Amino acid sequence: VALKAADIGIAMGQTGTDVSKEAADMILVKDDFYTIMAAIEESKGIFHNIQNFVRFQLSTIAALSLITLSTVFHFPNPLNAMQICFSSFHFVSI
């Protein structure tokens, strides 16, 4: 019951019972909890990279939309080349 109620149920692969393996979401093959910590650290890094990618894409889309709208409506260009390069560099370096 506890394995089903947990966000992620984890069972031991070698020493765990068949019932716990069936109820678990993840089974540790080598019965080593260090692998869980390593997986959590890796997932935090991946999540951070995804956040940075989305932030960069949104800023790029905003800048391109602004330039496109100003071109369509015959307004002067709101951003010069240096401002576009700086904004791209700023979001890449974060």
pLDDT digits (tens, 9 = 90+) for 46-59: 999 999 899 888 88
**Same domain for 65 and 28:** no
Among residues 65, 54, 56, 61, which one has the least CA distance to residue 91? 56
Q: Are residues 77 and 51 in the same domain?
A: yes
93 and 57 belong to one structural domain = yes
71-87 tens-digit pLDDT: 999 999 888 888 878 87
Q: How many helices (H) and strands (E) does the chain have?
A: 4, 2
Same domain assignment for residues 23 and 63: no
CA distance 66 to 68: 5
Residue 72 lies in a domain: yes
Q: What is the pLDDT of residue 89?
A: 76
Residues 7 and 48 in one domain: no
Range of the domain at 17: 1-32
pTM value is 0.63
The identity of residue 51, as a single letter, is Q
Q: Any residues with CB less than 8 A from the CB of 76 and at least 6 apart, and which?
A: 70
DSSP 77: P
Chain-centre distance for alpha carbon 59: 17
